[in-house]
Structure 1
Amino acid sequence: MRDPLFRMALVLGLLSAVGPFAIDMYLPAMPQVAQDLGTTEAGAALTLTSYFIAFGLAQMFYGPMADAVGRKPPLVLGVAIFVIATFAAALSPSIGWLIAARAIQGLGAATLMVVPRAVIRDMATGPAAARMMALIMIVISVSPMLAPLTGSLIMAWGDWRDIFTVLAVAAVISLGLILFVLPETIAREDRRGIEAGIMAAGARRLLSDRRFMGLTMIGGFGMASFFVFLSSASFVYTQQYGLSPTGFSVAFAINAIGFFTASQFAGRLAEKFGMERVISIAITGFAVMALMLTSIVWLGVDQLPVVIAGLFMANACLGLVIPTAMVMSLDPHPDIAGLASSLGGTIQMLTGGAMIAVTGPFMDNTAASMVPAIAACAMLAWLSAALSLPRLRLRSA
């Protein structure tokens, strides 16, 4: 704890975990929500969709705000919105109310995705930043392990409304960390005003930057594989394999272990071999593992241990990709780090949402449909790398 970068990474990780907890902690409650509010499973699923869409779009607001007024004000604003919306969700009298409350939750939680990345860029670059990002990924990656199980435990003595109450309390604690622990990391003289012309010029610069867009889409399709898994795993694990809500939570958690364990080596490997080489090898491993698992499942070997093991290995490769790609995409743009972070985050979230929409009609609540959808995301991520990273592009030529 004497290392200030470690301490900052821990604080940022705790803040960044609020958003994922708001998603994963809620998953075991969706059937109860549908029953309690008199809606269908599809209606309950809209509470996730509204969160994702608002979460993705709101990132475009917080990034420029962080560049203009500092890193702390947008964090305070976003978390305050999240707290109010979470209490509103706990009091929802109808599914429409809950869908709206979840959308407002997403609007608030988006700040916790954008601003921590910009804070990291303020404090470190290169391998040091990759190590900070990897430390944050520990906390974020623990969320899929703990959040569904925590939600199941809360429902054991309460109901789905109590999940939102616990989330609200956690958000209030996060607000305290922002106000009293997190320092401001951008000097006043380095701040940029919120001007449409400046934002448009910055956006054009980023969108025309082949490397930035390539790295963003690598992360986008990588995250999309998580989204596809998130939207389908509960049905696959409970219907095809007959797991209980607690069993689903445990199986769901195992898939995150490979990711966060591998992510802790991202900084060291990047320092030793170079970030581009790490991404090139890891993204290839991710695609190969996903395709191998698809082939095995389609051959009829679709037992639960096989699926979990295959996803574990694929996610281990992905754990090296995402934190490194995030750092590489921001490094060349220190003067618009907030805008770059928000634009990249928005593109990635919308990419994930689009992949859910595209693969959704093909889902039949079996591993035979879920795993190929994840493999499709992996191949698109690899293609993005092949088109944007010289090392991989030369190898695939």
Structure 2
Amino acid sequence: MSLTALRPRPSAARTASAAPAPGRKPRSSVVLLVFVLGLLSATSSLATDLYLPAFPSIAADLGATQSQVQLTLTAIMIGLAVGQLAIGPMSDRWGRRGPLLVGVAVFTLSSLACAVAPSVEALSVLRFVQGLAAAAGAVISRAVVRDTFDGDDGARFFSRLVLLVGLAPMLGPMLGGQLLLVGSWRLIFVALAVAGLVNLAFVFFGLPETLSREQRGQRGQRGRGSLRVLVRLLLDVRFIAPSLIMALSFAMTFTYISAFSFVSHDEFGTTPQQFSLIFGVNSLGMVLGNQVNAALIGRMDTSRRLLAGLVGSLASVGVLAALALTGGASLVSVTAVLFVMMFCTGLISPNATTLAIAGQPASVAGAGSALLGTLQFAIGGGLAAVTGMGEGGQASIVSMSGVMLATAAAALAVFVVQAYLGSARRSARV
């Protein structure tokens, strides 16, 4: 079946201007949409995870410190944050396909440029550009889901989407580790360029437009109009609270992602291939968490599923911090605790995203998705960089677990404050 079967009705196929038809979509169309949007969303995960096993070799090859190499990861996070803030409103105004095609093309070219970077500073700049481009797939994929689904259908679809996207952090480091057996770290960026070309082909030949011309007309304002929308979202507690929860939870996870390559190598003596296997096993925890979340839809409401994930993540990183401070950390115990943490992340991500986006109209889904992604990557990338700011620019299991514990506690605190404010508003109305 062609991807154009995702178009909701024949007239949309001819004009690309009709809104998706309401109601349940054909299963085959949903599967295709999950596959295509999953590939697009996974691009940013691949861009961050594929080269993680190569951190020590990049540092040696470019004569860089650990903290400088970690900053190449922070650079793409900042690019993803800035890019989503710009591309989201563009997709509301001009439709989803155009900005997506440009973003995927630039991602492909910047990946090739990273493969020939002469220094860690040049690599950081190129990674920023790569993040700007990868933002198109991340933000527009979420907006397409909002264009097409509502309520629990959206949460169910996000769980399916995260299942596919979750394969990227699980398989990405494994593939990166294997690529290091046949070539240098530069080969990893060539592989990212190939992935970009595959995405470009799928979008160009198959992905339909999901935002009608009429809906785009509702967002015809420029400049100050877009700024007003972003300000309104920032002031809407229904949006900003789950967005902050998502961002702080991502900071916890991203701290692990950015630091554990060095921690496992320096403190536990793992090889790039062993690190890849451990990272893949822990990422499986997130995939399982997402599937449990999907199974709980209809049995437990979204807020309760989110709370379960937040409490579980705080408890797991609390154990990790205790192991680090008492000297009882071993590779097996740390891996087990991180697996539980990633499982809980699988409960947090789809529910926080659903709560933030579902309460907004489709006409601002792109801007809402952009702001959500911007907060996620800016806060996540910024806080994770703290782990490498110790003496000598070295990350340690103590610094890693400390940042993870602080961000997990902050995420739960935001949830508690939101629940209290919501309860106070309901009491005032009564």
TM (norm. structure 1) is: 0.94
How many pairs align? 394
Contact 2:388-2:395 within 8 A present in 1 as well:
no
Report matched runs for 1:197-208 at 5 Å.
197-208=224-235
Partner residue of 2:211 out of 170, 182, 186? 186
Which amino acid in structure 2 is aligned with residue 255 of structure 1?
A: N
Mean CA deviation greater in 10-19 or 276-285: 276-285
Shift of 1:347: 1.0
Equivalent residue letter for 2:405: A
Structure 1 partner of 2:163: 138
Deviation of 1:298 after TM superposition, in Å, equals: 2.9
- Which residue is 2:58 aligned to? 33
Residues in 2 aligned to 1:341 and 1:106: alpha-carbon distance in whole angstroms: 16
User: Partners in 1 of 2:102 and 2:403 — Cα distance?
Assistant: 37
Corresponding letter in the other structure for 1:166: A
Instruction: Give distance in 2, aligned partners of 1:338 and 1:59.
Output: 9
265, 269, 273: which one pairs with 1:242?
A: 269
The match for 2:71 among 46, 51, 65 is 46
Contact 2:103 2:135 in 1 (8 A): yes
Counterpart selection for 1:265 from 272, 286, 292: 292
Aligned mates of 2:55, 2:394 — CA distance in 1: 18
Give the superposition deviation at 1:229.
Answer: 0.6
8 A Cα contact 2:67 2:388, kept in partner: no
* Secondary structure of 1:3 counterpart: helix
Counterpart-to-counterpart distance in 2, 1:107 and 1:375:
29
Candidates 18, 34, 38, aligned match of 1:9: 34
Structure 2 partner of 1:163: 188
Query: Structure 1 unaligned runs (5+)?
Result: none
1:119 pairs with 2:137? no
Q: Residues 103 and 134 of structure 2 are in contact (CA less than 8 Å); yes or no, is this contact kept in structure 1? A: yes
Q: What residue number does 2:408 align with?
A: 378
SS of the equivalent of 1:159 reads coil
Match of 2:381 in 1: 353
Q: CA deviation at 1:139?
A: 2.1
Deviation of 1:34 (Å): 2.9
Q: Percent of pairs identical after alignment?
A: 35
Give the Cα separation in 2 of the matches to 1:365 and 1:372: 11
Contact 2:70-2:388 within 8 A present in 1 as well: no
Deviation at 1:391, TM superposition (A): 9.9
Which residue pairs with 2:279 in the alignment?
Answer: 252
* Separation in structure 1 between the aligned mates of residue 250 and residue 236 of structure 2, nearest angstrom: 21
Q: Take 1:239 and 1:257, find their aligned partners in 2: how far apart are those partners?
A: 24
Q: Which amino acid aligns with 1:386?
A: V
Q: CA deviation at 1:71?
A: 0.9
CA distance in 2, matches of 1:133, 1:3: 17
C-alpha spacing 1:364/1:35, structure 2 compared with 1 (3 Å)? closer
Q: C-alpha displacement at 1:148, in angstroms?
A: 1.3
> Helix, strand or coil for the counterpart of 2:352?
helix
The aligned counterpart of 2:244 is 217
Deviation for aligned residue 1:393: 7.1
Aligned to 1:96: 121
**Shift of the alpha carbon at 1:392?**
9.5
Q: Distance in 1 between matches of 2:418 and 2:62?
A: 47
* Rounded Cα–Cα distance in structure 1 between residues aligned with 2:225 and 2:312: 39
Do residues 174 (structure 1) and 199 (structure 2) align?
Answer: yes
**Which deviates more, 183-192 or 46-55?**
46-55
Measured after TM superposition, the shift of residue 275 of structure 1 is 0.7
Contact 2:282 2:335 in 1 (8 A): yes
| Separation of aligned partners in 1, 2:341 and 2:268 | 21
Does the Cα contact within 8 Å between 1:127 and 1:268 map onto a contact in 2? no
Residue 368 (str. 1) matches residue 398 (str. 2)? yes
Indicate whether 1:331 and 2:358 are aligned: yes
Letter in 2 for 1:339: A
Report whether the alignment pairs 1:151 with 2:179: no
Between the aligned partners of 1:39 and 1:178, the Cα distance in structure 2 is 37
* In 2, Cα distance between equivalents of 1:40 and 1:343: 32
1:390, CA displacement in angstroms?
Answer: 5.1
More displaced 10-residue stretch of structure 1: 19-28 or 262-271: 262-271
Bigger shift: 349-358 or 38-47? Answer: 38-47
Q: Is the 8 A contact 1:276 1:391 kept in 2?
A: no
Which moved further from structure 2: 192-201 or 132-141?
A: 192-201
Seen in structure 2, the aligned counterparts of structure 1 residues 162 and 360 have a Cα distance that, compared at 3 Å, is closer
One-letter identity of the residue aligned with 2:365: A
1:128/1:267 contact within 8 Å kept: no
Once the two structures are TM-superposed, the CA of residue 91 in structure 1 deviates from its matched residue by 2.1
d(CA) in 2 for partners of 1:392 and 1:249? 43
Q: Describe the superposition over 1:276-319 as per-residue Cα deviations: whole angstroms up to 9, x where unpaired.
A: 12112221222222223323443332111111111111221221
CA contact (8 A) 1:125 1:327 kept: no
Please tell me whether the aligned partners of residues 86 and 105 of structure 1 are also in contact (alpha carbons under 8 angstroms).
Answer: yes
What displacement does 1:22 show? 1.1
> Once the two structures are superposed, what CA deviation does each residue of 1:342-387 show, in whole Å capped at 9, x if it has no partner?
0111011111122124444358544333223211111011011111
Counterpart contact for 1:19–1:109, Cα < 8 Å: yes
| Structure 2: distance between partners of 1:300 and 1:24 | 28
Q: Report the counterpart of residue 12 of structure 2 in structure 1.
A: none
Tell me, yes or no, if structure 1 residue 342 matches structure 2 residue 370.
Answer: yes
1: CA distance between counterparts of 2:124 and 2:70?
Answer: 9
- What amino acid maps onto 1:42 in structure 2? S
Which moves more between the two structures, 279-288 or 293-302?
293-302
Q: Which runs of 5+ in 2 are unaligned?
A: 1-25, 425-430
When residues 162 and 359 of structure 1 are mapped into structure 2, their CA distance, relative to the original with a 3 A threshold, is closer
